Structure 1
C-alpha cells in the first residue's frame, strides 16, 4: 500500500510506504518475515541487493531480525501469529512487531537468561536495538498483546572511494 500526501498545487510533498506481514511465532517464521522485509526495503530503493557499506540497510535488517526473533521467542501464544509492519518515509523507517503476549514486556538487560552473571548467550537483543535505533519502545496492542517498535533515520549508502 502506498500513501501519498499532496499539496494544493498537486505536487507530492511526501510519500509514505507501508509493508505488513503476519508470521508464525517460530524461528522460521521470524526468519521468513525478516527476509521478506529486506526484499521490500530493497525494492523501495530500487536496489536488488544490499550494497556493501550500506549501513542503513544493515541497521534496518538487524533491527527487524531482533524484533521478529523476540516476538517468536517471547510472544508465542498458541494459535496466534505476530505481525511485522514497516513504515517508510523520506526521513525515517519505523519497524513495528506486534505479538499476543501483552503480559511479557521487553526489558533491555544483560544476563536475563537466568545465570545472573551477564555471560549468557541470550538476553542482549534489546540492548542491540537500543544502541542501533534512534528511538524504540513498547505499546499495548488492542485487544491484547503488545507492539515493540524501533525507528531509525534513513541514511544514504556510503559512496565508494570516499567521494
Structure 2
C-alpha cells in the first residue's frame, strides 16, 4: 500500500497524534492476549501524557460486536458522558463487524481473530479505538441501497467519531481506527 492510500483524519482534532501513536503501539506490541487490559506507558513519547489501553481478541462469533461494546462501556463508563460512550460503543461494533466480515487475507484459511484496541488519555479527555484485521483491502464507505439491511457501517463510523481512518500494519493487514473527544 502506498502512502497515498493511507487515510488521514478528515477533521484532525487537537489530539491528532493519538491515532498515529496507537497504530505504532499495535505494530510494536503485536497480537494481544485475550482480555488484556493495562497501562501502555507512564508517559508517551509524543507528550500526550499517560495512556491507558484495553485490548480484546475478538472471537469469530456473532456475539463479538456485543462483547466489544461491553468492553467499551465498562472501560469508559466513568470517563465520558453517556452519549459519547455510546458513540464509541456503536463505532466499535461497526469496526468489529467489518473486521469479521472482510478481514481475512486473500487465500487465508483458518479462523479470524481481529483485535480491538481502546486507548484513552485522561489528561486529554480523548480516546482512540482501533480494530486490526489481516486483510489489505482498503475500507471505503459505500452508498448502500436504501432498503439494504447492511452496508452503512463506515458511514456510521464517520458520523459518530471525530475522525477515522486506517493504516497498514507492518506484518500485513491493517488497523482501522476512530478518534473521539470525550
TM-score bracket for this pair, using the shorter chain length: 0.7 to 0.9
Tell me which of the two structures has the higher relative contact order, counting C-alpha pairs closer than 8 angstroms and 6 or more residues apart: 2
Secondary structure at 1:5's aligned position in 2?
coil
Aligned residues: 135
Structure 1 unaligned spans of 5+: 7-12, 112-116, 155-163
2:64 counterpart residue number:
29
2:170 counterpart residue number:
142
Match of 2:142 among 93, 109, 121: 109
Tell me which protein shows more strand as a share of its residues.
1
TM-superposition CA deviations, 1:60-112 (whole Å, max 9, x none): 1111111111111111452341000011013211000001111x22111122x
Q: Is the 8 A contact 1:88 1:94 kept in 2?
A: yes
Work out which of the two has the higher radius of gyration on C-alpha atoms and give 1 or 2.
1
Structure 2 unaligned spans of 5+: 1-37
Q: Is the 8 A contact 1:85 1:97 kept in 2?
A: yes
TM-score, with length taken from structure 2: 0.66
Structure 1: which 4+ aligned runs deviate by more than 4 Å? none
2:50 counterpart residue number:
15
Shift of 1:118: 4.1
What is the alpha-carbon root mean square deviation over aligned residues?
2.3
